[in-house]
Amino acid sequence: MGSPCFNEIVRQCGLSEVFAEDTIMRAFERIGLRPEQVTPAHIPQVLPQLERTLRIFLPKDQVAGRLAAIAALATSPVLR
Amino acid sequence: MEKFQDQFSQVLHANLDLLTTKCLEASTENAHARGEQLNAEGMRQIVEGLVNIIDEALEGTSSELLQTYLHTVVPGLVRRGRDAASLSYTGVSTSIYFAHVLERELPPHLRDDAIAWFAHFFARFTAEAVEAANKAQGR
């Protein structure tokens, strides 16, 4: 039900598939977006919220790498 | 008077691996569990999240992490076949494992206050998780 960009963020986030989609969805809801509306252009806007969210569940040394992978999706030609 | 909060948090963070193993065992032995079992990495993330929620509650300034947990982890577990009875089972066993680690590693003069706080925290947490599970099931 999410856009290709949203689904790719779910795949890249490093969270268990049990709750990854709900968690990423909640982060985007905080900035007023539904999963199907998410495009690469929204990624910079959601990164601070995603960082707070990933810090709940991931060891601190994994968070920066996951955020960098998600940030790189903003310029991914595949998702444009 | 020394407060228990700082050491409480340190003890739990230092025992994340042990607590993950125990929660995985509790989940595997859960007679009420339906659907697929969580893998070790998923359980580690859930336990890490729980310990961070405990930190948040110890600080007492927000419930943002708790709300995120209730709106993400619990519905995810429900979709994989867990229900309120199953979450209660895991919650009770988890709380005993956590309390055992705290009792074992906190200095004696902090134990009474710490365990009393934790008993009420975890009871509230389990009640809210059960409520969230029922809501996710449409009850």
- Inspect the interface and report whether the beta carbons of A16 and B46 lie closer than 8 Å: yes
pLDDT at A53: 94
In this predicted structure, what is the pLDDT of residue B132? 95
Is residue B1 pLDDT above 60, yes or no? no
User: Could you tell me if B98 and B105 are in contact, meaning their C-beta atoms sit under 8 angstroms apart?
Assistant: no
pLDDT at B83 over 80: yes
What is residue B32's predicted lDDT score, i.e. its pLDDT?
A: 67
> Which residue of chain B is at minimal alpha-carbon distance from A16?
B42
Q: Which residues of B touch A23 (CB under 8 A)?
A: 68, 72
Mean pLDDT by 10 residues, chain A (80 residues): 93 96 95 95 96 95 96 83
Model confidence band, residue B12 (pLDDT cutoffs 50, 70, 90): very high
Q: Provide Rg for chain A, Cα atoms.
A: 11
Structure tokens at A33: 């977006």
Three-class secondary structure assignment of B117-137: HHHHHHHHHHHHHHHHHHHHC
Largest CA distance in chain A: 31
In this prediction, residue B34 carries a pLDDT of 67
Q: Are A23 and B72 in contact (CB < 8 Å)?
A: yes
Residue A80, pLDDT score: 66
